[in-house]
Amino acid sequence: MMRSITTAQAMNEALAEEMRRDPAVYVVGLGLYPSAGESATSGLVDEFGELRVRSAPMSETAIAGSAVGAALVGMRPVAELHLADFAFNALDEILSKSGKWRYTHGGNDGMKLPIVFLEGIGGYVAGASEHSQSPLALYWHFPGLKIAVPATPYDAKGLLKTAVRDDNPVMFFTHKLGAPGPVPDDEYVVPFGEAVVRRPGADVTVVATSYMVVLSMEAAANLADQGVDVEVIDPRTLEPLDIETIVASVVKTGRLVVVDEDTERCGVGAEIGAQVMERAFTALRAPVGRVANPNLPVPYSPPLEQAVLPSITSIETAILATLTN
């Protein structure tokens, strides 16, 4: 049986299931209860109590850093950092204490850091520069983290269960926008490193994650009316990245556009573009296109925000540009 539920509900189910399965799993974050509105953690305290649903002081450092310490002694923390914008306060804990800790210490005595960091991302909500960021590339730049970026409630649930079971730190990004979607009643997991082809096509490959998948699908539908056949690939995890699926698609289409909500410089598009060039240079029939924020803070006013963030129109334009080249 399938039901239609939101990403928050899907994540809530994933957390409850994993917490029932393994007593080492717990959640820590600011304001987890009483919960205001629907969230990934709402209601969990009723079933699991205040020790396993820890309402933390307003310190991202304490939330993320305590998750690292607990993970080092056998717990499996899920650290709810709310917005990626706030998580910058805990970058030392996330990038160095979790991402690099195992390597630095040579994997000492089978050291493991099974931590999930939950971060909300994304604009289109008039959040201005510090409530709209999507810093995927920042985390991707650093060694030792895994990065999950679900675009649907189905993937949010399945990837979150995989993240909780992984013995390494996982950055788990969910967008502020997102429609309800079908999620099966029965338990399932979505493995890391397996892209999904959201829409098959022959002319141009578009790679997008999270809310950019939604915009790219709209752009692809519009272009289909004009006779352009777009293939949309959602990698679902950036680390590990299913580059094989992307390369196979580019070998077929000869054209690639990467859509990313983050700032363009040193971004997801640059990385995926470079990897494709290294592996399939001769297949490319046009320069790789990038649709991203043109290296600006996200502005507040809706017309300004629309000018900066990727849009259906800007994605269509980038796709058409690869065809005229």
Partner 1 sequence: MTLTAVEKQALYIAMVRSRAFEEAAGALAASGDIPASWLSGIGQEGTLGAIVQLRADDYLTITHRGAYGFIGRGSDPRRLLAELLGKKAGYCKGKGGRHIADLEHGILGKSGTVGGHAPLAIGVGTAIQNWGGDQVVLSLFGEGTSNRGTTHASMNTAAVWQLPVVWVCENNGYVGNVPASVYTATPDIADMAASYGMPGEVVDGNDALAVHDAARRAIVRARSGSGPSLLELKTYRIRPFAESATDVRDPAEAVAWRDRDPVAGLRDRLLESGELTLADAEAVTAAAREEMAAAAAYARESPFPDPAAAFEDLYA
Q: Which residues are annotated as catalytic?
A: 131
Is 314 a binding residue for partner 1 by CB under 8 A? The answer is: no
Is 28 a binding residue for partner 1 by CB under 8 A? The answer is: yes
How near is the Cβ of 141 to partner 1 at its closest, in Å?
14
88-92 — which CB contacts under 8 Å span 24+ positions? 88/60, 88/135, 89/59, 89/60, 89/61, 90/60, 90/61, 90/63, 90/64, 90/65, 92/61
How near is the Cβ of 181 to partner 1 at its closest, in Å?
30
Binding span for partner 1 by CB under 8 A among 6-14, 46-54, 248-256, 294-302: 46-54
How near is the Cβ of 158 to partner 1 at its closest, in Å?
21
Is 26 a binding residue for partner 1 by CB under 8 A? The answer is: yes
Binding span for partner 1 by CB under 8 A among 12-20, 37-45, 104-112, 207-215: 104-112
Q: How far is it between the farthest Cα atoms of the chain? A: 60
Residue from 9, 168, 216, 253 in contact with partner 1 (CB under 8 A): 168
Is 22 a binding residue for partner 1 by CB under 8 A? The answer is: no
Rounded Cα gap, residues 181 and 189, in angstroms: 16
Site mask for partner 1 (CB under 8 A), range 124-153, x = bound: -------------------xx---------
Binding span for partner 1 by CB under 8 A among 35-43, 111-119, 126-134, 184-192: 111-119
Residue from 34, 37, 57, 227 in contact with partner 1 (CB under 8 A): 57
Is the Cβ–Cβ distance between 171 and 120 less than 8 Å? no
Q: Which is nearer to partner 1, 1 or 73 (CB)?
A: 73
Binding span for partner 1 by CB under 8 A among 107-115, 122-130, 241-249, 315-323: 107-115
- How many residues sit in the footprint of partner 1 (CB under 8 A)? 45
Rounded Cα gap, residues 120 and 173, in angstroms: 6
Peptide bond into 34 cis (omega under 30): yes
| φ, ψ (nearest 5 deg) of residue 45 | -60, -30
Residue from 5, 15, 53, 68 in contact with partner 1 (CB under 8 A): 68
Q: Which is nearer to partner 1, 74 or 303 (CB)?
A: 74
Rounded Cα gap, residues 254 and 48, in angstroms: 52
Is 113 a binding residue for partner 1 by CB under 8 A? The answer is: yes
Is 183 a binding residue for partner 1 by CB under 8 A? The answer is: no
Binding span for partner 1 by CB under 8 A among 57-65, 157-165, 254-262, 276-284: 57-65
Contact residues: partner 1, CB under 8 A: 26, 28, 51-52, 54, 56-57, 59, 61-62, 64-75, 77, 92-93, 96-97, 101-114, 143-144, 167-168
